[in-house]
Structure formats: C-alpha cells, structure tokens
Amino acid sequence: MTNSKRHILNGYGNGQRLLAVLLLITVSLTTSCGGGLQSALNPAGPQSQHISQLWWFMLIVCTVVFVVVLGVTLVLLVKKAQGSPDELPERESAESQRRKAFIVVAATAATIVILGAFLVDSFLVGRGLTAALDRKQGVVIEVTGHQWWWEVRYPDVDASSIFTTANEIHIPVGVPVTFTLKASDVIHSFWVPNLHGKKDLIPGKVSTIWLQADKPGIYRGQCAEYCGHQHAHMALWIFAEPREQFDEWRRNQIQSAVKPASDSEKRGQQVFLTSTCVTCHTINGTSAGANIGPNLTHVASRNTIAAATLPNDRDHLASWVDDSQQIKPGNRMPPNKFRPEEMQALLDYLQSLK
C-alpha cells in the first residue's frame, strides 16, 4: 500500500470517528433535554439541588478530560510517522523518552488532583445531605415497602391522629420531612429524583432519609431495587403543598371514611363488606380492618391507583377491580367477578371515599 493511500484511509478514520461521537452526544442531548418529571436534573429541594450541582461540576470536568484524551489520540493518529511495516522498531531516544515520561507524570498528577477535587466536593455534599437539622417543624412519615405498593403512615404523639394511606404522600413545602423506611417482604428502594437520592428498604432494618421540597409541585418516585414481578409498576407520588393545604389534607385523612349517602353507595358498601374486598383492605369506620392491601379509607382523594400506575377514575378503577392481573400480572390482588349492578354500586361507593 502506498503512503498516500494509507493517509487517506487514516483521515477517513479520524473524521468519521469524531463525527460519530459528536453526533451521538448532540442527538441524545437534544432529543430530551434536562428537566422533567422524575428527573434528577430537575431539582425541587436542597438535597437534589446539591446533588445536581455536584453532577454538573463532575460532568463538565469529565467532559474536558474526555475531550483532551480523545483529542490527543486523534492527533497522534494524524501525526504518526511513516515507515515500512517490515522494519524492526527503533529504540526511542533518551531525550524523547524523558519528555514523554514528564508528560505522563504530569497527566497522572492532574488526574490525582481532579480526583481529589471530586472527592472533597462529594464528601462535603454528602455531609450536607445527612446533616442533622432542626426538625421541630418537620414531619415524620413511615413508609413500608410491600410487593408492589407503598404503605404510608403518618405517626403522631396523639394516637387518634395517626393515619395510613398508600402510594401518595403529601408534605408541606419548605419543611424537612423525615422518612422512616421499612420493608415488609423483600428489598425495595425509595426514590423521588426531584427531591433526593434513593434509600433502600431492607427487611429487618430501618433506614432513614430526610428531604425537603422548596417549591410546591407534584413529584413522582419509583422503586429502584428489583423486587419481583411488578417492580416496574411500583411508583409513588409526593405532593408538596403549602402548609395550610397540607394541614387540611391531613385533617381529612385523619377522619374516618365518609358514610355512604345514596342508595347506590350503601349497596356498594354492602358489596364491599360481603365480598373478597374486606379480607385485604381497611376502611376506617367500617368493619373492614385487614391490612394486607392498601388502606382505602380515602381512596377517592388519591390521584392514582395501583402504585401510581393508573389514573384514579371510574373506568380504570373498574378494570383494576375486575381483573388487575391484566394490568399488573403477578400482583397480589386477585380478579373479582362481580355482577354488573354490584360493580356499579361498588364503584359509586369507592368513588365517594374522599
């Protein structure tokens, strides 16, 4: 092969590679930029804010390092010496070796400095995340992970103010919230990217995480540790609200269930209490007191059902009650074949439980 031909092929190789890499980066980043729901790059609280800043710092430095290394590689491809492939290699001159040794040592030193900077920043951010905080105004929430839903309990010194709900958490804005995390069966992981990193829920252990939302909003979280068939559909919502709104919500949740008013709702309650529903679900104020499945006392006040998988409207509720295995195969709720008028009455009742 002649020298010039080799050069052309080489130029083709360099440009093509660089272009490919740049194209990929641009395409990926522009198709879906930064923020959004459930995104770690869309922080809404101090924890995720600090982590996000750490991320951008590391990203910029790492991109520079990557570009430098790749650039040097491309340059050396272009600058390669000419020579026959059959010649034996010459030994490099001592001068050239010394120069290279200096550069390698300098590069290694730069690496160490950069890593040191990362380490310090990471440690400081980590300290900030777990720093003890004045939690007098704070809220404590207990979350227990089940296969495949979240049991949420708001404890209180006054026992009559304790209540339990499922999959939807409300917190006041601007106030630190401490989550006590437990698992009832396998390992799950509590993760709301807009607000904080994740914490595992491990059977036999209690984890704690505290976070804070700085602006009102609705933030989606999802289980982040493989926990079986429906790990993909185990999500939750956090509603960050102004204090008054949160207090009002809380006061409502503490109440027992709304008594059925219309005939259809009464019939629906009867259906609930005389069929399979009552063996797994609790509705405070009725004789239904099982705690295998989510607490349904205020189910109609929630935005979603089935661990944030379905919107909470009549049609979805109907298909969930009728055959949840079609939607979330393998989940713990069995299909329930009701007669049409029973189903309508039941839906009326459930939708009245605000």
Nearer to another protein, 242 or 330 (CB): 330
Output the smallest distance, CB 284 to another protein, in A: 19
CA distance 225 to 199: 10
Site size for another protein (CB under 8 A): 120
Nearer to another protein, 156 or 315 (CB): 315
Which residues lie below 8 Å from residue 135, measured CB to CB, with a gap of 6+? 176, 178, 210
Using rule CB under 8 A, residue 316 touches another protein: no
Using rule CB under 8 A, residue 224 touches another protein: yes
Using rule CB under 8 A, residue 98 touches another protein: no
Output the smallest distance, CB 347 to another protein, in A: 19
Q: Select from 157-165, 188-196, 236-244, 254-262 the region that touches another protein (CB under 8 A).
A: 188-196
Using rule CB under 8 A, residue 108 touches another protein: yes
Using rule CB under 8 A, residue 8 touches another protein: no
CA distance 114 to 124: 16
Closest CA to 351 of 309, 321, 307, 308: 321
Output the smallest distance, CB 250 to another protein, in A: 27
The tokens for 330 are: 């393998």
In the chain, where does DSSP find H-type helix?
Answer: 3-31, 46-78, 94-130, 243-254, 263-274, 314-327, 340-352
Using rule CB under 8 A, residue 319 touches another protein: no
Using rule CB under 8 A, residue 94 touches another protein: no
The SS3 assignment for 345 reads: helix
Between residue 228 and residue 267, which ones bind another protein under the rule CB under 8 A?
Answer: 228-233
Nearer to another protein, 148 or 246 (CB): 148
CA distance 306 to 291: 16
The C-alpha angle with vertex 233 and arms to 231 and 236, in degrees rounded to 5, equals: 105
Query: Which residue in 160, 287, 337, 340 binds another protein (CB under 8 A)?
Result: 337
Using rule CB under 8 A, residue 204 touches another protein: yes
Pairing of strands 188-190, 199-201: antiparallel
Query: Which residue in 79, 136, 287, 340 binds another protein (CB under 8 A)?
Result: 79
